[in-house]
Amino acid sequence: MSLITIAAAVTALAYVGLLAYAIIRIGKTPAAEYWLAGYCLWSAIMAGALALDGLGVSIMDFAPGIWLAMISLGGMCVLGARTFSYLTIKWSWAWLPGMLPLIALVFVLDTIDPNPGLMELTWRAALPSISLAAIGSIAMWGFIGFVLIIITFLETSKARLPLHANRGLWWVAVLPLIMVAEAAAMWAPELVSAIGQVMRVVGVIGLVYGVTTKELVDVRGMFRGVMGNAVFVIVTALVTLLGIGAAFYLLELYPGGPGQIAVAVLALVLALIYQAVRTLLGQVVQETVLKAGYDTAQTSADYSKRIAQILDVGELAAAVGQVLTQSIEATQSALILLTPDRDNTRAEVFVGSGQMPTVGQRLAASNIFLAHLMQTRKPLLQYTLEVNETFKPMLTIERRWLQRLGMDVYVPVMDGDVLSGILAVGPRKSRDPYRTRELELLSALADQTSVALKNARLVSNLKTSNEEVRALNETLAARHEQLKEMDKVKTDFITIASHELRTPLTQILGFTDLLKMMSEAESVAGKEIAPITESVLKASSRLGEVVTQMLDVSQLDVDAMQLKLTETTVEAALRMAVEPFAAAIRERRLTFTVQNIRNLPHVQADAQRLSQALGQIVGNAIKFTPDSGNVEVRGRHIVNDSKYPESVEIGVTDSGVGINPKYLELIFEKFFRIGSTALHSTGTTKFMGAGPGLGLPIAKGIIEAHGGRVWAESPGFDKDKLPGTKILVILLVKPPALTGKGVPAFIGMEAKQ
């Protein structure tokens, strides 16, 4: 039995063991290791085929070379699929159909080759005879392997996180080992072939390790460690050889006792020199080869001094960012401030160094990421967050937020037993993963940051409280002014109400007395009665209007306004609202225009109440616009807006005297009016005619009862420049369901904005 046959049999058993391990892994993580099991099976078939061939078993008597070519090419295709799956590249299945044309090509080349081909010879025998099929198979096999190595290298260079790159580097190292070992096993002389088969098993073990282990050994660190030790070995060897050579020279130059003394002195000198060189060499290797050119204790001490007087979270983040950039060459860093907020935790990002999104995120109370940091109190790698099954239940929005930050490691900042913040650090410039030494430094900095962060948060909370107090004082001052105005309104209401009611009552009483006297004098004539009765009717109408407004306001106060919603158009409601003012518009020569009202969609509304609200707004515009002025009504259809569902906007713009900005909200309060009550004059359409101050409050109540919103805009009040006023109305096309007393569920929700 040849050495090749023995090696093939042993390696076949090894592959069977690896196959069993892969199958166990499949049982634990379904669909995760299928390609691994497939490649182990293929390797076992290849090694078993070689062993059977060496034992003279007739299974490969027919075209043994073709068998071996198909096994090897098929193995490369399965390895390619496993590589794509390992690198998380899509379409890993696409490699398998590629095996069929390759096998067909091997058959074609073997058929047209005049030399003894793979039908008659094994691969090993066909190669020296320059078989076209054998050479073609080798070329295809080598091309597939080369392409896989290039793809792996390119994917590794694009890896976002160092540990992802480390997985790629591991694969870059394993693939050439498998290929070289397989080539030696197939085509090298007997001893080298046996060694190649053993090397291939080692390569497949490395493949299995890379696939089944999430946290691989640090490939770069391991290589650098070997390089560092090699430097020490070389220097030690040079010093030793130099000492031995010098000792022989001294013994030859000074025989006897003097030579021995000289050698002893030489040994002492060389020991001192070696110690100094070793210390210096250790520093050089540490900084250049191992990439650790910083002192942990000194870095921590410097950071502690730097943050001692910092009382601002932003400055604290910048300080830790500067330290991390200088010490471990972190590309970016941030301090994530965590604040409990009801059923979740609010995370705010304070950039320390580099560029990243600063948008915060609300994290669920049951967030596994935060729970892990708080329980372990140890750094957590982004790589672990992505590959560890423990973190799979995390919400997608939370996972993507962390990925957008572009960080590599998260270090908990604890305040006692509470997780108050997270020190987030990005990848290093060297693209090296964070090793134990760096993670210990980050933990030390996080512990020091905890105290400074607590102080900074206290100061920040104090500043926030001061700002809130200041804003509250300003609000109270504004409310105080409004209350003064409203108190004045209450005081003026009696005067206004008495005037509004007394004027028509006086007219009614006066004309009634006149009719009585004319009747007693028997001098009543039809022509004389007509203007008197017309005046009585007008005064009665005005009196009824004022009383109706007061009743409507009382209904708003007790939420008793009942709405009868039907499908109607804004155009119809506006026509009903404007009709009573037609005569006044003509008499005062006002230009009244309507834009884009007809194109608005139908709305669900109480047509009569909506017309009443629009009438109050249009009437207000007419009253405060001088003769020959302009009043415009413009509509707009609102869709795909973040503030409102599908709505219509109605804007009533006049060229009148305008409104002082401080009164823009007060004009919608009951009984509020601008101007002195001493100058009060009753009038519904004449310029600057005053009323009881109920029109706009009624309009607001009706519109909000429909789930809408109304507000006023004006640059200011000026009788000469006439800046004008614009009143805007938002009406929902389909208002929400009405609650208890006919009022939509979210009345006034937007009105306060």
Residues 701, 526: contact at Cβ < 8 Å?
no
pLDDT digits (tens, 9 = 90+) for 288-316: 555 555 667 777 877 888 777 777 888 88
Do residues 648 and 603 touch, judged by C-beta distance below 8 A? yes
623 and 717 inside one domain: yes
Q: Are the CB atoms for 622 and 584 separated by under 8 Å? A: yes
- Which amino acid is located at 186 in the chain? M
Same domain, yes or no: 268 and 146: no
Percent of the chain with pLDDT over 70: 76
The answer on 450 and 394 residing in a single domain is: yes
Residue 357 covered by a domain: yes
- How high is the pLDDT of residue 741? 43
Q: What is the mean pLDDT of the chain?
A: 78
Yes or no: say if 77 and 95 are a contact pair by the CB < 8 Å rule. yes
Q: How far apart are CA 213 and CA 748, in angstroms?
A: 59
Radius of gyration of the chain (CA): 46
Whole-number Å distance between alpha carbons of 643 and 750: 8
688: domain CATH number? 3.30.565.10
CATH number for the domain including 33? 1.20.1070
The answer on 246 and 354 residing in a single domain is no
Same domain, 435 and 422: yes
Confidence of residue 279 (pLDDT cuts 50, 70, 90): confident
Angle CA 216–381–328, to nearest 5: 95
324 and 253 in one domain? no
CA contacts within 13 A on the Cβ side of 147: 13
Q: What is the dihedral of CA 257, 262, 264, 266, to 10 degrees?
A: -170
Contact (Cβ atoms closer than 8 angstroms) between residue 333 and residue 327 = no
Please provide residue 233's backbone torsions phi and psi, each rounded to the nearest 5 degrees. Answer: -65, -45
Over residues 106-122, the pLDDT tens digits come to 777 777 776 666 656 66
Check whether 746 has a pLDDT greater than 50: no
* Overall domain count for the chain: 4
Q: Are residues 328 and 254 in the same domain?
A: no
User: What is the four-CA torsion angle of 617, 623, 627, 632, rounded to 10 degrees?
Assistant: -10
Non-local (6+) Cβ contacts of 610 within 8 A are 568, 570, 573, 702, 706, 731
Q: Report which listed range, 321-325, 387-391, 505-509, 596-600, is most confident.
A: 596-600
Q: Which domain holds residue 228?
A: 221-289
Whole-angstrom Cα distance, residue 286 to residue 654?
79
**Helix extents (H) in 56-118:** 64-86, 99-112
In a domain, 554, yes or no: no
Residue 653 neighbours by CB distance under 10 Å: 19
Q: Which of 82-96, 446-460, 505-519 has the lowest mean pLDDT?
A: 505-519
Q: Are residues 238 and 371 in the same domain?
A: no
Instruction: State the CATH number of the domain containing residue 399.
Output: 3.30.450.40
Kindly state the tokens that stand for 326.
């200088």
Q: What mean pLDDT do residues 324-349 have?
A: 86
Give the residue with greater pLDDT, 280 vs 289: 280
* Angstrom distances, CA of residue 652 to CA of 119, 591, 655: 94, 13, 10
What pLDDT digit, counting tens, does each position of 197-223 carry? 899 899 999 888 888 887 788 777 777
254 and 121 share a domain? no
- Answer with the residue of higher pLDDT: 157 or 456: 157
pLDDT of residue 60 exceeding 70, the answer is no
473-483 average pLDDT score: 75
> Do 313 and 421 lie in a common domain?
yes
Tell me if 296 is assigned to some domain: no
Query: Any residues with CB less than 8 A from the CB of 378 and at least 6 apart, and which?
Result: 412, 439, 443
Residue 47: inside a domain, yes or no?
yes
Q: How many CB atoms lie within 10 A of CB 654?
A: 26
3-state secondary structure of 367: coil
Predicted pLDDT of residue 550: 58
Q: Describe the crossing of helices 64-86 and 162-187 by its angle, rounded to 10 degrees.
A: 170
CA angle (384, 386, 392) in 5-degree steps: 110
Q: Which of 191, 216, 241 is the last residue of a domain?
A: 216
Q: Final residue of a domain: which of 168, 195, 216?
A: 216
Judge whether 542 lies within some domain.
no
Q: Which of 5-9, 101-105, 346-350, 724-728 has the lowest mean pLDDT?
A: 101-105
Residues 6 or more apart from 588 whose CB is under 8 A from it? Answer: 622, 627, 628, 685, 686, 687
Sign of the C-alpha dihedral computed for residues 625, 626, 627 and 629 taken in this order: negative
Say what angle helices 99-112 and 132-157 make with each other, to 10 degrees: 150
**Cα 144 from chain centroid?**
40
- Output the pLDDT for position 74: 77
CA distances from 435 to 220, 229, 375, 728 (A): 11, 18, 21, 63
Q: Does residue 649 surpass a pLDDT of 60?
A: yes
Q: Are residues 716 and 590 in the same domain?
A: yes
Write down the pLDDT at residue 429: 84
Ranges of beta strands (E only) in 655-724 are 709-713
Nearest-CA neighbor of 81 among 148, 31, 141?
Answer: 148
Instruction: Name the pLDDT band for 589 (thresholds 50, 70, 90).
Output: very high
Residue 749 lies in a domain: no
pLDDT score of 451 more than 60: yes
Whether 703 is in a domain gets the answer yes
Q: Are residues 252 and 238 in the same domain?
A: yes
pLDDT for 656 equals 92
In the predicted structure, residue 27 carries a pLDDT above the cut 70: no
Residue 548 lies in a domain: no
Indicate whether this model's pTM tops 0.75. Answer: no
Residue type at position 336? I
Question: Given the DSSP bridges, would you call strands 591-595 and 630-638 parallel, antiparallel or unpaired?
Answer: parallel
pLDDT bracket for residue 287 (50, 70, 90): low
Q: Number of C-alpha atoms within 13 angstroms, CB side, residue 18?
A: 31
Which residues are CB-contacts of 456 (< 8 A; sequence separation ≥ 6)?
310, 311, 312, 313, 315, 316
> Where is the domain boundary, 463, 495, 530?
463
* Sequence-distant (≥ 6) Cβ neighbours of residue 653 within 8 angstroms: 621, 631, 632, 633, 634, 724, 725, 726
